Structure 1
Amino acid sequence: MKKKNIWLLIAFGAVSLTTFLVYWFFFWPPKTFPSNEQIVREINSTYEEAGAKVIQDILFVDTHHVVVPYISANEDYGLSYWGWRNHKWQVLTIDTKGEPKVWKVNGNDLTSFAIVWNAHPDDHLHAIQFYLLRNRNYGMTNGVEHYSPRIQMEKEISLREKSYGILKLPKDWALVLSSVLIEDRGGQSSLFFNDLFPSQNAYFGWIPYDQSRKEVFPERTVNGNTYVVDDIYQEHVMLLNTVDLEIPK
């Protein structure tokens, strides 16, 4: 065999091997998610203070990202966030309480945003009203007047059947938030904005209600600890009161 053909075969083999390794490492379909017993061991070995005891459910946000609500030995209702990374399922963050947070699964991709929660039964919550809000604002820059109208969008979630859940960012919310982001950047449509705080003007909020439709302070659901293991983008969901809203007359 000629030397030229040998080198071509070697080059082809190297390219094929590299292609396979890249696909295997980054794009190979995830393995079956760990069992409940394995999840408990992984959470507690990662963050002993979590004290996970009972796995409530396994919630797939997408094929590579999972939320696992759990109950601890201290009867706290927490959340663990998982991702398929480096060819294995890895716990990314552990919350000892279940107050709502926005998980920005794919960073600045608004369609990947998901609100995640796990309310404690002792708080007797029957519903949560989630909000996307922006306060109206007026200002002047270089002699040019600017006015931003009020934004108030809402989505109610029932907690009658289960204490936990995932709310993917509604399409109309994503559309409005995208417009706000463009406005914040002076009309630039680029989505390469700050992953942690995409907008200084818009924010997420929530109001919990009891069976009688009265506002409740979720004492056992909020104010827990968070243990971060790997890169993950989350945003706080502000606890609101009715006085923070604009009620149509």
Structure 2
Amino acid sequence: MTKRRLVISIGLAMLLLTIVIFYLFYFTKPHAFPMDDKLLKEMNSFYAEAHADVIQDVVYLDKQHVFVPYISQENNYGLSFWVWKHRKWKVEEIDTNGDLRLWKINSKDSATYHFVWNFPSNDQISYMKLYAIKQRGYHISGDVHHYDPAVQLERKISLSEKTYGSIQLETEWVSVIDEWNKLNEAMQPSLFFQPFIMYQPMYFGWNTFDHSDTIIYPEHSTVNSSILNNSVGIENVMFVNESELEYP
């Protein structure tokens, strides 16, 4: 074998090895999810202030994203978020209270959005409502009057059987949000010509109700502290009072 052929062969072998390593590192199927004792050990190692003591459930949002609600030694109800990454299940964020969060698994695809929560069981919460809201707006540009109607989507979720859970953004909401985002992008004016026109974005909200249909905030929720590994698209969601709703 000539020196040139030897160099080419070594180069091809190294390229093949790189491809194999890259595939194994990024594209291998997830292994079985860790048992509770290993989850607790890793959570408390990752964030000692969590004081995680009881794993309530393991909820797969898809094959590579898992939501794990937990109870701490102080009887606080928290959230943990896990991702299959680099051939390992890794905890990406831990929150010490269970108020509603939105996990944007793919920030560019609203169909991958999931709400997750873990409310204290002793708060006597009967149900929760989720909202997608766009407030009404009105502006004038020269002789042109522009009115933006309000939008309010609502979904009711029973919490009588268990006070933690997750729910994927439903198809109707995805359609409305995607259409509004497209319209909003198309209507955005040139800042050079119309610098004062603002368009109302859509946002998410939630509230909880007792058995007499009165809005209540979970009384036993702790002040939240959290730690995150990377920016993984997990967002707080606004608690809304009746006065803030277009159609209470």
TM-score > 0.5, shorter chain as reference? yes
Given that residues 99 and 222 in structure 1 are in contact (C-alpha distance below 8 angstroms), is that contact kept between their aligned partners in structure 2?
A: no
Given that residues 102 and 236 in structure 1 are in contact (C-alpha distance below 8 angstroms), is that contact kept between their aligned partners in structure 2?
A: yes
Q: CA deviation at 1:143?
A: 4.7
- Between 1:67-76 and 1:26-35, the stretch displaced more is 26-35
CA distance in 2, matches of 1:128, 1:87: 37
Q: Could you tell me the percent identity over the aligned residues?
A: 37
Aligned twin of 1:247: 247
CA distance in 1, matches of 2:39, 2:32: 12
Q: How does 1:41-190 map to 2 (within 5 A)?
A: 41-141=41-141, 143-187=143-187
RMSD: 2.0
Q: CA deviation at 1:3?
A: 5.2
Aligned length: 238
Q: Using structure 1 for the length normalisation, give the TM-score.
A: 0.88
Question: For residues 179 and 12 of structure 1, do their structure 2 counterparts lie closer, same or farther at Cα, with a shift above 3 Å needed?
Answer: same
Q: Match of 1:54, as an amino acid?
A: V
Q: CA deviation at 1:202?
A: 1.0
* SS state at 2:215 partner: coil
CA distance in 2, matches of 1:227, 1:130: 25
Q: CA deviation at 1:154?
A: 0.9
Q: Match of 1:44, as an amino acid?
A: N
CA distance in 2, matches of 1:110, 1:210: 30
Given that residues 133 and 203 in structure 2 are in contact (C-alpha distance below 8 angstroms), is that contact kept between their aligned partners in structure 1?
A: yes
CA distance in 1, matches of 2:185, 2:143: 18
- Between 1:13-22 and 1:49-58, the stretch displaced more is 13-22
Q: CA deviation at 1:187?
A: 4.5
Aligned twin of 2:231: 231
Q: How does 1:215-230 map to 2 (within 5 A)?
A: 215-221=215-221, 223-230=223-230
* SS state at 1:185 partner: helix
Listed one character per residue, the Cα deviations across residues 179-222 of structure 1 (whole Å, up to 9, x for unaligned) are 2222332358xxxxxxxxxx962111112112232222212236
Given that residues 101 and 234 in structure 2 are in contact (C-alpha distance below 8 angstroms), is that contact kept between their aligned partners in structure 1?
A: yes
Q: Match of 2:168, as an amino acid?
A: K
Aligned twin of 1:192: none
Structure 1 residue runs without a partner (length 5+): 189-198
Given that residues 69 and 78 in structure 1 are in contact (C-alpha distance below 8 angstroms), is that contact kept between their aligned partners in structure 2?
A: yes
CA distance in 1, matches of 2:159, 2:17: 51
- Between 1:28-37 and 1:223-232, the stretch displaced more is 223-232
* SS state at 2:93 partner: strand
CA distance in 2, matches of 1:39, 1:88: 13
